Structure 1
Amino acid sequence: MLVRAYLRASTDDQDANRAKDDLKKFAKERGLKIAAFYIENESGAKLQRPELFRLFSDSEPGDVLLVEQVDRLSRLNTADWEKLKAEIAAKRVRVVALDLPTSHQLMQLGDEFTARMLDAINGMMLDMLAAIARKDYEDRRRRQAQGIVGAKERGAYQGRPEDKKRNDGIATMLAMGISWTEIQNATKASRATVAKIAKRLKRVAA
């Protein structure tokens, strides 16, 4: 059994590494060492996350997928959550979250009956917390949209300030023919940001 830690933040402005020390401490207290970290800045409401699926690709049956909170793993809608659970089941990976005490015993090897009982209990708790995380995501999006509408009505909404220095660098790299993936790795910008700047360059060229 290997422990593989998954760390996620929603935006480039957030630090996906923030919980790294907590995960290390949690594993160490149980006499285990984290074999690999998988870190990315992607929305938990999106199923296609490269680092998460690289973790699945690297995993063997019985490996532990360790996260700080269930919402780091999922803020997915019901259909996508079912797809993710199917992937977890196919890989026979054990999901352990610091905020889900029922999952902690899954880091210890036990008899088959106990393991199956814990898996069943943990599965129900995961479903519940994933549903709560999704509701929280939808509530925050709704409040954000309401706030933007209100700000526009007051004439106070200006949108998110652009990181001009970073975006100028992205534009330069695009003009040099550097791949989007290499640009993302170098600048930590999202793919959407690279796409937006690439589109802007096309307009200028036209």
Structure 2
Amino acid sequence: MRTRNPASAQDAPAPAGHVYGYARVSTTDQDLSVQEAALHAAGCELVRAEKRSGATIEGRSELRTLMDFARKRDTIVVTRIDRLARSIADLAGIVRELETKGVALRATEQPIDTGSAAGKAFLGMLGVFAEFETNIRRERQLEGIAKAKAEGVYKGRPASIDAAAVRALSAEGVGGSEIARRLGIGRASVYRLLGEKIA
């Protein structure tokens, strides 16, 4: 008489997923190597990296590729959540999308793991602080601009070019230098718009 094995294939643990890393810096002169090294040390099989602002997830093609590629039981790892998102809204959206796919999120420098209740709570708390810090920085920038304007130091952005006005003045026979003077823009911009070479 054969003895039935109580352990069936259905009882076998699900195979572990893949571990992928995501690294980001805001500007082209910043270095990604420290983050990439930390992610590889954390066991990431593949690391996607990009030099883009974290203020929005728009235009971050490497992050989008990674999120689309990840499958159930996979894990995406970052060094800190501000590498992933700088606003609580973006962070919540990313986490929600990953959870829907069954993909976990971890951070190497913070106790974050969306596979646990404590990790989820800490992630939400840090997201609030990250957004608060961003807002404080923006307020300081605005205060600095206001102070510079009051002291006559801040000149603002260069005047935008009114293409229609440039062409209208040119049609009246006004020269490039005079158009630039009247509109408060550079001669090179005028000639570039008109498709002419600077005399």
Q: CA deviation at 1:152?
A: 2.9
2:74 paired residue number: 63
Rg larger in 1 or in 2?
2
| Residues 32-71 of structure 1 aligned to structure 2 (within 5 Å) | 32=43, 34-48=44-58, 49-71=60-82
> Higher helix proportion, which one?
1
> How far did 1:158 drift?
6.8
Deviation per CA, 1:2-28: give whole Å up to 9, x if none: 211111112223223442222223x1x
C-alpha offsets along residues 47-98 of structure 1, whole Å, 9 cap, x if unaligned? 22211110011212111111111111111243x3332222111222211112
2:32 to 2, 16, 26: 16
Determine what percentage of the aligned residue pairs are the same residue: 32
- Show CA shifts across 1:31-55 (max 9, x none): x3x2211111222220222111100
Q: What TM-score, normalized by structure 1, do the two folds share? A: 0.62
Q: Secondary structure at the match of 1:125?
A: helix
Unaligned runs of 5+ in 1: 107-117, 161-199
- Taking the aligned partners of 1:102 and 1:204, their CA distance within structure 2 comes to 52
The higher relative CO (CA closer than 8 Å, separation ≥ 6) is in: 1
Residues 145-165 of structure 1 deviation map (CA, whole Å, 9 limit, x = unaligned): 2112222322344789xxxxx
One-letter identity of the residue aligned with 1:70: I
Aligned length: 147
Q: Aligned Cα RMSD in Å?
A: 2.7
2:83 alignment counterpart: 72
Asked if 1:153 is matched to 2:141, the reply is no
1:152 and 1:14 mapped to 2: Cα distance?
30
